Amino acid sequence: MAPPPPPSFQHSLLVKAAPTRVVSAFFDPEALSYWWQAVRSVTIPRPLGIYAIQWEPTPFSDEILGPLGGAFHGTIVDLGSEGWGLFQESSLGCLCARMPAKRPWEDFAGHAGTPIAASRFADLTLRVVETLAELGLPASLRPAVLEVATLEFLDRAQPAGQDDWRALIVYVQSLPRGRVEEYVATLTATGPLVPARRPRRP
């Protein structure tokens, strides 16, 4: 006799709103309070950002789920439906990760003190991803490697001015593969990589 199917639940909802407005609602405490009856929320709209929601416990108990309420904690993996890339809120007003479209650099010049340059400069990200692919390493290491690479990039790239994009590009183009391998090696100190252990001899 076949076992009974496990409990399941399916629900669909048609939302008549712009996609950007729907995505924004997931990170708006007031919207979450009205939409999901959440009493508290901590949501950071960027890749690898915190996403935590809290509800008051219900006075009743569901037959299948038990008491409702409590807390949900997760991590944002990606925003948007166009794949990975750079966070685009500062330049496009979009809570999404996208690769920047080809546009003249003059369109984004003269914005000192803003993160627009970071949202348009994808060269370092592509260099890291390219090297990880050459080494046969998973793309999931990209955020951790970029943390190390970006710190050195900020220290060593020497633009002549706030709009000297060419100096940034030249730095990345001259970055040797061996240096990226050293970035990867640093991940064995604090994670997420762990050195392989040699098998014990019998």
pLDDT digits 0-9 by tens, 32-68: 898 888 998 888 776 667 788 888 888 888 787 777 7
Of the listed ranges 21-25, 99-103, 121-125, 169-173, the least confidently predicted one is 99-103
Is residue 111 in a domain?
no
d(CA 89, CA 46): 9
| 128: containing domain | 121-190
What are the start-end ranges of the H helices in the chain? 19-25, 29-35, 89-92, 116-120, 123-135, 142-156, 165-173, 177-190
- Number of structural domains (the chain) is 2
Q: Higher pLDDT residue, 198 or 30?
A: 30
The rounded percent of the chain whose pLDDT value lies above 70 is 68
Q: Answer with the residue of higher pLDDT: 25 or 193.
A: 25
pLDDT score at 82? 45
Nearest to 46 by CA among 103, 115, 104, 114: 115
Least confident of 19-28, 100-109, 169-178: 100-109
Q: In the chain, pLDDT over 90 holds for what percent of residues?
A: 1
Residue 198, domain member (yes or no): no
Question: Is there a single domain that holds both residue 69 and residue 126?
Answer: no
Please give the residue that has the higher pLDDT: either 108 or 180.
180
Q: Is residue 65 part of a domain?
A: yes
Asked whether residue 1 carries a pLDDT value surpassing 50, the answer given is yes
Structural domain contains residue 99? no
As a whole number, mean pLDDT of residues 168-192 equals 85
- 93, part of any domain: no
Residue 90 pLDDT level (bands cut at 50, 70, 90): very low
Looking at the domain assignment, is residue 138 inside a domain?
yes
Give the pLDDT confidence score for residue 122 in this predicted structure. 73
Question: End of a domain among 75, 92, 112?
Answer: 75
Residue 61 belongs to some domain of the structure: yes
70 and 130 assigned to the same domain: no
Q: How many CB atoms lie within 10 A of CB 118?
A: 14
Q: Does residue 69 share a domain with residue 125?
A: no
Residue 53 resides in a domain: yes
